[in-house]
Amino acid sequence: MKNNYFILSFFFILLIACTNKNKSKDNVISSKDSLSSYLSLANDIRLPLKSKQQYNQKAFEIIIAQKDDSINKVNLFKIANRYYNMNDWKGYFDTSKLILERSKNSNDTANIAKSYTYLGDYYTAKSISDSAFLCYFKAEKLYVKIGNNYNLIRGNTKHTL
């Protein structure tokens, strides 16, 4: 009888030990999955504005905790785009300024130019023409400098219509 308890106890401990290891791997995967889920939910037109803002904030918290690299900036631009789609101008402006600062710190000319374009869009939405022009002008100079004719042309046609 003692032998049966010993075997049963051994399998029970083994089962618990195996499930704990799997949980830690699931947490790493779920963080990546939750970022894409939060970004998707923040862009869902069927959800109320408050819910979309909360999902966007959760995605922002995940992104801001990650290493500042090119993928991080791509994800921050996604956050800014969600704010733009929600007409949340404060969130859009703050995120665009953050991307600009980080891009300047890493001498990332392409993302500096894109950040200036986003800021120009913010000032255009707020009807602050002189600031919008200045941001678009800075972006244009940088696009010329790096030879990015696509965004240079796209920016010029976007703002002359």
Query: What is the per-residue pLDDT for 29?
Result: 40
- Distance in angstroms between the alpha carbons of the first and the last residue of the chain: 87
Query: What is the per-residue pLDDT for 120?
Result: 96
Q: According to DSSP H, which parts of the chain are helical?
A: 2-42, 49-64, 70-85, 89-105, 109-125, 129-146, 149-160
Distance of alpha carbon 41 from alpha carbon 35, whole angstroms? 10
> Which tops the pLDDT comparison, 117 or 9?
117
pLDDT digits (tens, 9 = 90+) for 134-156: 999 999 999 999 887 666 666 55
Distance of alpha carbon 78 from alpha carbon 87, whole angstroms? 14
**Burial per residue of 94-124, b for 16 or more beta-carbon CB atoms within 10 angstroms, e otherwise:** bbbebbbebbeeeebeebbbbbbbbbbbbbb
Query: What is the per-residue pLDDT for 139?
Result: 94
Q: 54 pLDDT exceeds 60?
A: yes
Long-range contacts of the stretch 102-106 (C-beta < 8 A, 24+): 102/68, 102/72, 102/73, 102/76, 103/73, 105/68, 106/68
pLDDT digits (tens, 9 = 90+) for 97-115: 999 999 999 999 999 999 9
Q: 17 pLDDT exceeds 80?
A: no
